[in-house]
Structure 1
Amino acid sequence: MGMVFAVANQKGGVGKTMITLNLAGAYSHDDPSARVLVVDADSQNTSMRSSGVGEEPYPFVVTNMAAAGKGLGREISRMAQDYDLVLVDCPPSVDNLNTENVLQVANFVLIPMDASPSDAWSTQGMIQLVRRVIGPDPKRCGIVFNKVNTKRASYRDVSEVISEDSPYPVLKSVISMREVYKTAIGFGATVFSVKGQSTKQARQEITNVAMEMLGIMGISE
């Protein structure tokens, strides 16, 4: 049975879809034989829509499960039997039952946030939900900063606060503000497949996150 990774936060605009699709791209790029599935559990269906606009298909499967309701967790577990890895793009709400249903079957939860006070506040709510559903195990969840400049004081300040308050680790790997992330998704691609763009730094950032997640779980690369 494949692993299930959930990408979740209760605040919109933190990059859940971008990160989900690019992580799927990273794992598929690292091992082209890997069977990777992206589950769109958000009614906005951004992951699903992105999968239909590219000139070439993603090297992984994308499916829409936003309307699965109470059976979402069960369906994800069932699909995980046919894949090596399932990544779930969760809705931007801790009150949406899809989020909790996904967390119940997730092997690992990645919480993306940017370096702002509002994101810090919303992330605390997500951390509380994760802790209630899966417990405080530091190998089951991690927080990643997205769209940040690590040289700014805001990043250092917010990162310090989150690190002190969270039972889960803050990833050393960060994702910077780069136009190529938006461009790739708009073209129905990832930074590992988009053409005509400078992607070296973006690829390295996403790969670092993907590998660090496995490291936190105690899985060798």
Structure 2
Amino acid sequence: MPAKIVTVFNQKGGCGKTMVSMQLAASFALRGHRTMLVDMDKQGTSTIWAGQASQDKPFPATVISLAPLREKLIGEIAKHAENHEIILIDCPPAIESSIPWAALNISDLALIPVIPLMDNVWASREAKELARRALEENPDLQTFCVPSMARRGNVFKACTEILQEDQGIPLLETGLQQRNAYGESQMFGLSVHGLSGSSAAAKEVEELAKVVLGKLGIELTRKPVKGKGSMNKQREVA
């Protein structure tokens, strides 16, 4: 069965695209799903992140860069589809790029990470419009916004309510908050699952992963494998 394909995109840089992509990829892989993340950003953040891992504690999912191929990624991804259950595409922060459009046309699910702040809300409108146009070419495409780096406060609450008003492209109820564990996981080439003391962040990622798997129609029969891709050193993270 060909892989389910998830595209993570937004024109806004720094909104958490790579963070969402990498944490989800790790969660799926730790559940036993054959998972690949395709890095389409020429900055190569996902690729560098995975490269920080030690040989004895590799990043749980396969991470490859196809950024030089741009919109020609479709053919290359097709080569990997039969050998994987889930493929995530981490897009560059540029809606005018041909990459998000190409990715959306082959995807089952699209995620738009949005920090609940007004500049992100405004920027997400173009991403949503691109998804709506892609739906004409790919009628089975599902698109959702994902709360990213959210914090408590009236501004975050108000912006979240604005995002919730869009019924065409709904805001998922679960997302990733701003936590030290997410930044630390990058440093060591891990996901938050591999950091001691990051149970709150890991639980958050697992909740998002379960929602995404449900949208993809993948049964939640597998639980994450504890201890795989983890570090033994104890550290204080939240």
Relative to the length of structure 2, the TM-score reads 0.85
Separation in 2, partners of 1:75, 1:134: 22
Give the whole-Å Cα distance in 2 for the aligned partners of 1:218 and 1:81. 17
Tell me how far apart the structure 1 counterparts of residues 73 and 90 of structure 2 sit (CA, whole Å): 13
Distance 2:93 2:167 in 1: 20
Query: Could you say which residue in structure 1 is the equivalent of 2:128?
Result: 127
Task: State whether residues 138 and 168 of structure 1, in contact with CA within 8 Å, keep that contact through their aligned partners in structure 2.
Answer: no
Cα offset, 1:165, TM superposition: 3.0
Q: Which moved further from structure 2: 47-56 or 72-81?
A: 72-81
CA distance in 2: counterparts of 1:5 and 1:165, whole angstroms: 21
- What number of residue pairs does the alignment pair up? 216
Q: Runs of at least 4 residues of structure 1 off by over 4 A?
A: 135-139
How do residues 1-221 of structure 1 correspond to structure 2 at under 5 angstroms? Answer: 1-31=2-32, 34-55=33-54, 56-135=57-136, 140-149=142-151, 151-194=152-195, 197-221=196-220
Secondary structure of 1:11's match? coil
Larger radius of gyration: 2
Shift of 1:96: 1.0
Counterpart of 1:28 in structure 2: which amino acid?
A: A
Query: Tell me, what secondary structure is at the counterpart of 2:89?
Result: strand
CA contact (8 A) 2:6 2:109 kept: yes
Instruction: Give the C-alpha shift of residue 217 in structure 1.
Output: 4.2
Cα RMSD for the two superposed structures: 1.8
CA distance 1:212–1:155, shift in 2 (3 Å): same
Q: Counterpart of 1:189 in 2: which secondary structure?
A: coil
* Range 2-11 or range 51-60, more displaced: 51-60
- Distance, in Å, in 2 between the alignment partners of 1:6 and 1:121 is 20
Asked if the contact 1:73–1:104 (Cα under 8 Å) also holds between the matched residues in 2, the reply is no
Question: Structure 2 counterpart of 1:68, which letter?
Answer: L
**What residue ranges of structure 1 are gaps of 5+ in the alignment?**
none
How far does residue 186 in structure 1 lie from its aligned partner after superposition?
Answer: 1.5
Q: Percent identity?
A: 27
**Unpaired segments ≥5 residues, structure 2:** 221-238
3-state SS in 2 of match to 1:51: helix
CA–CA separation in structure 1 for the residues paired with 2:120 and 2:127? 10
Deviation, structure 1 residue 139:
6.7
- Measured at CA, do residues 145 and 137 of structure 1 come closer, stay the same or move farther in structure 2, by a change above 3 Å? farther
Give the TM-score taking structure 1 as reference length.
0.91
Contact preservation (8 Å) 1:142, 1:213? no
CA shift for structure 1 position 178: 0.3
State whether residues 139 and 217 of structure 1, in contact with CA within 8 Å, keep that contact through their aligned partners in structure 2.
no
